[in-house]
Amino acid sequence: MAQYVAEHPEIAEKHAEAAVPAALNPAPLGLCAFALTTFILSAFNAQLFPAVGATILIGVALFYGGIAQMLAGMWEFRVGNTFGGVVFTSYGAFWLAVGYSLQNHLIVNQTAFAYFLLGWAIFTAMMLLGALRTNVALITVFAVVLLTIVALTVAEFTGVAMWVQIGGWLGIIAAILAWYTALAGLLASTKSAFHLPTWPMK
């Protein structure tokens, strides 16, 4: 057997390739965690379900939007993707903070929460700049997320409820875009029958 393999090196190369695991891509997990949590909060902000149901967000924000997304961020650092690591770890921390604050009734000052959101709007603008050399799908996600947070920031500063609804609908769009980008990445990492375009920037 050893002699046969030695005489046919292509067999050894084939087995060596099979032994190497596929490259880890944590981005679909991070995007899905962000998308689902954003979708639930945004559906509430868009008044698609009553305030009594808003507590469903707490568990999702803590465990999926928070912990799962932070794990995706750590794995992004592990594979050498600093941008992905910063994005997913930061937004994971964001959802942990939101979930913890809602659970413990810590959001008691509208102006203070407005500055909290303003800080995240600035961070999202920074990440949008960092995404400009990636692909159109991801750039669009960050652009709509930025508009969402800006709308919610304006709502908290002004107290105008209309901006909350605008932020809610923008957040739903952002969640759908994030799910699309996650699915595109997931399909690209598997032997899928089809792929979704993300339009990479040249």
HSE on the CB side for 124, CA within 13 Å? 23
pLDDT in tens, 152-188: 999 999 999 999 999 999 999 999 999 999 999 999 9
The label of the residue with tokens 């799962």 reads 68
Q: What pLDDT sits at residue 7?
A: 52
| Predicted pLDDT at 11 | 43
